[in-house]
Structure formats: structure tokens, C-alpha cells
């Protein structure tokens, strides 16, 4: 038995599903920031900034998705990231 199935793309519905993952995304980013901060000896570290941005073809549909950025707290943390890639180490 075969039949034809038609699937209609709903970008707003997909964006809504992605918005539902914002909590998990922020939690994962905070975990990475915490691990990266543990590599530093000077007491500084990293924090998480959340945003909603259009990625890939989102702007064509007028939707956004949650994005997390792990950002250095100060110049020493930024320098440590630039020299020793501690954020990459924290992800691995």
C-alpha cells in the first residue's frame, strides 16, 4: 500500500520548538563557562549571554532562534582564551 504524503513547512512552528530549547542551551553554555573559568587562577572567568537571532535561512521566514555566547569577564580571561584556547578545552 503506497500513498502520497504532503508535508508543509511551518517556519514559525519550528522556531517555536527551538525557543523551547533555550533553557537547555543556556544550561549547557553555563556548564562550558564554568569549566573554562575553572582553568583560570586569577579568580576571573566567563559568563553566558543569551540572544535571539536569525540564523541560516531564518531571516527569510522572519523568525529567530536562541543563541548562547560564552563571554570573558575581563581582559585576563580574554587573553587566556586567545593564548591557551581554554573555551575549546572546556567544550572537549
List pLDDT tens digits, range 3-55.
899 999 898 898 899 999 999 999 999 999 999 999 888 778 999 999 999 98
List pLDDT tens digits, range 60-89.
988 999 999 999 999 999 998 999 999 999
Alpha-carbon dihedral 70, 34, 88, 15, rounded to 10 degrees: -40
Delimit the domains of the chain by residue range: 11-91
Burial of 29 (0-12, 13-18, 19+ CB in 10 A): buried
Read off the pTM: 0.81
Amino acid at each position: 500500500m503506497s500513498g502520497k504524503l504532503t508535508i508543509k513547512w511551518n517556519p514559525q512552528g519550528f522556531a517555536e520548538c527551538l525557543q523551547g530549547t533555550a533553557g537547555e542551551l543556556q544550561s549547557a553554555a553555563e556548564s562550558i563557562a564554568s569549566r573554562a573559568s575553572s582553568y583560570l587562577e586569577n579568580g576571573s572567568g566567563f559568563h553566558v549571554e543569551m540572544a535571539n537571532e536569525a540564523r541560516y535561512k531564518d531571516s527569510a521566514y522572519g523568525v529567530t532562534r536562541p543563541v548562547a555566547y560564552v563571554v570573558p569577564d575581563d581582559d585576563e580571561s580574554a587573553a587566556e582564551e586567545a593564548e591557551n584556547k581554554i573555551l575549546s578545552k572546556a567544550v572537549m
